[in-house]
Amino acid sequence: MSKVIAINAGSSSLKFQLFEMPSEDVITKGLVERIGLTDSVFTISVNGEKVTEISDIPDHGLAVKILLSKLIDLGIIESFDEITGIGHRVVHGGEKFNDSVLITDEVIEQLVELSELAPLHNPANIVGIKAFKEILPNVPAVAVFDTAFHQSMPEKSFLYSLPYEYYEDYGIRKYGFHGTSHKYVSERAAELLGRPVEQLRLISCHLGNGASIAAIEGGKSIDTSMGFTPLAGVAMGTRSGNIDPALIPFIMEKTGKSADEVLEVLNKRSGILGVSGFSSDLRDIESAATEGNERAKLALEVFASRIHKYIGSYAARMFGVDAIIFTAGIGENSDTIRARVLQGLEFMGVYWDPALNKVRGKEAFLNYPHSPVKVIVIPTNEEVMIARDVQKLAL
């Protein structure tokens, strides 16, 4: 028996989940928010109850110290020795990492080099890794990458039709993200279908604040909607998804914004927020649409129609599809988005039952039994994938 902690460090936050392994039972979970600001918030669940404390936590090092000492103070563990492994989510593994890896000093150096590709995310992940390393230097730590699962994409999928030397010289290519989630739901779908993943063609729709679609053939990602960065693909909560690249200089000229400022608009003020004009949260949009708000209805249509198109495109790409999977906040909970995405797909063998589509937040098939293509809701679990990789590589 051992305890493994899965960590997801962001620029001002640190999420954690402590697992008993190999049983995969969740002992506790929580998060630290507003790191580096005043009134930082530490939340941890103890016996199903949330405990919250507010204090100033200036850096990730202190956040880790507080988290670990709380585990002891609250009687969740008796000593740090009980923690036998740490798993860190790392956003970008570039072309170097096609799987999770035991973290060494050399790996940390490589992650620093990769920060050029993910300047918003990798530095925060590295700060989290270093903070744990300082406090628990002898506990093995593993990096689990968002990009790794998509490293199986063939060149025809990952290459942009740009001068080839841009790929060679600068690493400009599609990397894809949410890989840990797409991998988890594809493996789980195979279990639920009772068929080996090697025999399946799956389309996985990870629909949260960030959203991406993946074509998974024989257990391997062969294409995905996100690209060089997580800005590409379908419309998202605040991200535009794919747009005509010529719009960037055009918007710069019209608005007087710099390239960075336009990028900020594409990342933070577009997508569902941009189209609706009032919220990036799908629940707000759904209730406003029910009350007749036209822009909210439009945001729903824009969001769902892009996903619908990707499904057709990826079915063509794999010469068919065995199952379509919905996961993450919207995919797991929103029957209205699922209904719009699946609408009219009977031509390609997707027959789904509106009564089954009412499900929220749990595993369920939405298809009629005779449907050639199955439709499955699977709550994602990136944390358990991280804990499994720690178990595999470090214990």
Pairing of strands 2-9, 83-90: parallel
Is there binding between residue 282 and ligand ADP (CB under 6 A)?
A: yes
Q: Are the beta carbons of 334 and 342 closer than 8 angstroms?
A: no
Q: Nearest approach, Cβ of 204 to ligand ADP (angstroms)?
A: 14
- 105 is annotated as an active-site residue: no
Is there binding between residue 180 and ligand ADP (CB under 6 A)?
A: no
Three-class SS state of 89: strand
Q: Nearest approach, Cβ of 393 to ligand ADP (angstroms)?
A: 25
Count interface residues toward ligand ADP (CB under 6 A): 14
94 is in an annotated binding site: no
Is there binding between residue 91 and ligand ADP (CB under 6 A)?
A: no
Is there binding between residue 288 and ligand ADP (CB under 6 A)?
A: no
217 is in an annotated binding site: no
Compute the distance between CA of residue 164 and CA of residue 22 in angstroms, rounded to an integer. 45
Is there binding between residue 334 and ligand ADP (CB under 6 A)?
A: yes
Compute the distance between CA of residue 182 and CA of residue 208 in angstroms, rounded to an integer. 13
Q: Nearest Cα to 138, choosing from 174, 177, 103?
A: 103
Note the Cα 98 to chain centre separation in Å: 17
170: Cβ–Cβ under 8 A, 6 or more apart, which residues? none
Cβ distance to ligand ADP smaller for residue 143 or 207: 207
Q: What are phi and psi of 261, to 5 degrees?
A: -70, -35
- What does each C-alpha distance from 394 to 2, 96, 103, 387, 388 come to in angstroms? 11, 20, 10, 10, 10
Is there binding between residue 210 and ligand ADP (CB under 6 A)?
A: yes
Applying CB under 6 A, the span of 50-58, 65-73, 106-114, 276-284 interacting with ligand ADP comes to: 276-284
Is there binding between residue 283 and ligand ADP (CB under 6 A)?
A: yes
Here the tokens at position 150 are 């998509």
Beta strands in the chain (DSSP E): 2-9, 14-21, 25-33, 40-46, 49-55, 83-90, 101-102, 141-145, 201-207, 211-217, 220-224, 323-327, 364-365, 374-377
Q: Nearest approach, Cβ of 284 to ligand ADP (angstroms)?
A: 7
Which residues is 220 bridged to in the sheet? 217
Here the tokens at position 254 are 């019209």
178 is in an annotated binding site: no
Q: Indicate which residue of 56, 99, 105, 146 is catalytic.
A: 146
Note the Cα 177 to chain centre separation in Å: 7
Applying CB under 6 A, the span of 107-115, 251-259, 279-287, 371-379 interacting with ligand ADP comes to: 279-287
Taking CB under 6 A as the criterion, the residue among 328, 345, 375, 387 binding ligand ADP is: 328
Is there binding between residue 281 and ligand ADP (CB under 6 A)?
A: yes
370 is in an annotated binding site: no
* Stretch 219-248: interaction string toward ligand ADP, x if CB under 6 A: ------------------x-----------
Here the tokens at position 313 are 């495109």
- Within 10 angstroms of residue 56's Cβ, the number of other Cβ atoms is 12
Taking CB under 6 A as the criterion, the residue among 209, 242, 267, 313 binding ligand ADP is: 209
15 is in an annotated binding site: yes
Q: What are phi and psi of 273, to 5 degrees?
A: -65, -45
Compute the distance between CA of residue 326 and CA of residue 360 in angstroms, rounded to an integer. 11
Q: Are the beta carbons of 160 and 174 closer than 8 angstroms?
A: yes
Q: Nearest approach, Cβ of 360 to ligand ADP (angstroms)?
A: 6
Here the tokens at position 351 are 């027959």
Q: Nearest approach, Cβ of 382 to ligand ADP (angstroms)?
A: 9
Is there binding between residue 208 and ligand ADP (CB under 6 A)?
A: yes
8 is in an annotated binding site: yes
330 is in an annotated binding site: yes
Q: Which residues have a catalytic role annotated?
A: 146
Binding-site residue set: 8, 15, 89, 206-210, 281-283, 329-333, 382
Contact set with ligand ADP (CB under 6 A) = 208-210, 237, 281-283, 286, 328-330, 333-334, 360
Binding-site residue set for ATP: 15, 206-210, 281-283, 329-333
